[in-house]
Amino acid sequence: MKLLRSLTITLVLGASTICAHAGNVLIVLSDSDRLDLKDGKVFETGFYLNELMQPVKALLDAGHDITFATPKGTAPSVDRTSIDKMYFGGDEAAMKASETQLSDLGLLSSEKSPVISLARVEQVGYDHFDAVYVPGGHAPMQDLLVSSELGNLITYFHENGKTTALACHGPIALLSTLADAKGFVTKFETAGTANAQTDWIYAGYRLTVFSNREEEMAKGLLGGGEMKFYPQDALTQAGGQFSQAEAPFAGHVVVDRELITGQNPASAPAVAQELLSRLK
């Protein structure tokens, strides 16, 4: 499996013209602490601890600068169910170290959070950033997928060959680059299907995201609720070429041109390594 993944990455990158230089990484998180489900139910969520902090630690250890942003510039929320050593390979000490580092960053503080808005990111200038990373948790499915500000940012990164990395439910944010992201998502929510829009910038890209079979296996987390749609279906129907690991919840990373996507929480460390390799 490792050999296959390495071969895939080598072949796809062979066609790339990316030339990234180390420096500044923008991490985009959701403003939301919830996901609206079917029948008016609500799931309390946020970002997954390991999906944010494992890449953050790797980036900081390598000497890179990080800027945190959300669409509105409000402090993000952590999904409490993600504070579990199983997402850290059973290593409780590593989990606690991530909690401590998160606390030290002050990211969750409504008064002291260093998070800026995407409007402020645009003012700073997209050129200031060498890469963007969007971690998962269910929260991106509430707002990032229809954020026009995020769509502008990611489109700029795409057009300029800048590294764009996303993990787990994070890749749903790629829908923000659709010409009518809100229309596409609304149709998917109500009808369970939507017509692909022409000229989507990621049409034909190989990518991954939290898979349908993983969603089915993880339904218990929703407390009896049901998601309006699954990200695999939406990204596939939009025009992406979906790829998944042979076994559910096994780490799986897909790299195509400037785009790096990870399938699930177990993929976050490998996404971080691919990101670091682009920043050398």
**Mean pLDDT (the chain, rounded):** 92
pLDDT at 248 over 60: yes
Q: Which of 229, 158, 160, 221 is nearest to 188 (CA)?
A: 229
pLDDT at 16 over 50: no
Percent of the chain with pLDDT over 70: 92
SS3 per-residue string spanning 129-145? CCEEEECCCCHHHCCHH
pLDDT at 226 over 90: yes
Percent of the chain with pLDDT over 90: 90
Per-residue pLDDT, 121 = 98
Token pair of 182 as six digits: 């809100």
pLDDT at 49 over 60: yes
Cβ(226)–Cβ(37) below 8 Å = yes
Q: How far is 61 from 58, CA to CA, in rounded Å?
A: 5
pLDDT at 200 over 70: yes
| Element at 166 (helix H, strand E) | strand 163-167
b/e per residue 71-81 (b: at least 16 CB within 10 A):
bebbbbbbbeb
Tell me the pLDDT tens digit for each residue of 102-136: 999 999 999 999 999 999 999 999 999 999 999 99
Provide the pLDDT confidence category of residue 15 given band limits of 50, 70 and 90. Answer: very low
How large is the greatest C-alpha to C-alpha distance in the chain, in angstroms? Answer: 48
**Range 135-161 average pLDDT:** 98
**Range 203-212 average pLDDT:** 98
Which of 1 and 139 is assigned the larger pLDDT? 139
**Range 208-213 average pLDDT:** 98
Tell me the pLDDT tens digit for each residue of 53-95: 999 999 999 999 999 999 999 999 999 999 999 999 999 999 9
**Range 185-212 average pLDDT:** 95
Residue 271 has, within 13 A of its CA and on its CB side, a CA count of 39
**Range 232-249 average pLDDT:** 97
Cβ(249)–Cβ(264) below 8 Å = yes
Q: How far is 219 from 238, CA to CA, in rounded Å?
A: 24
Q: How far is 271 from 267, CA to CA, in rounded Å?
A: 6
Which residue type occupies 85? K
Provide the pLDDT confidence category of residue 214 given band limits of 50, 70 and 90. Answer: very high
pLDDT at 231 over 80: yes
93 C-beta neighbours (distance < 10 Å), count: 9
Provide the pLDDT confidence category of residue 23 given band limits of 50, 70 and 90. Answer: confident
Provide the pLDDT confidence category of residue 22 given band limits of 50, 70 and 90. Answer: low
Question: What is the set of domains in the chain, with CATH numbers?
Answer: 24-279 (3.40.50.880)
Per-residue pLDDT, 280 = 83
Alpha carbon 21 to chain centroid, angstroms: 22
Per-residue pLDDT, 20 = 39
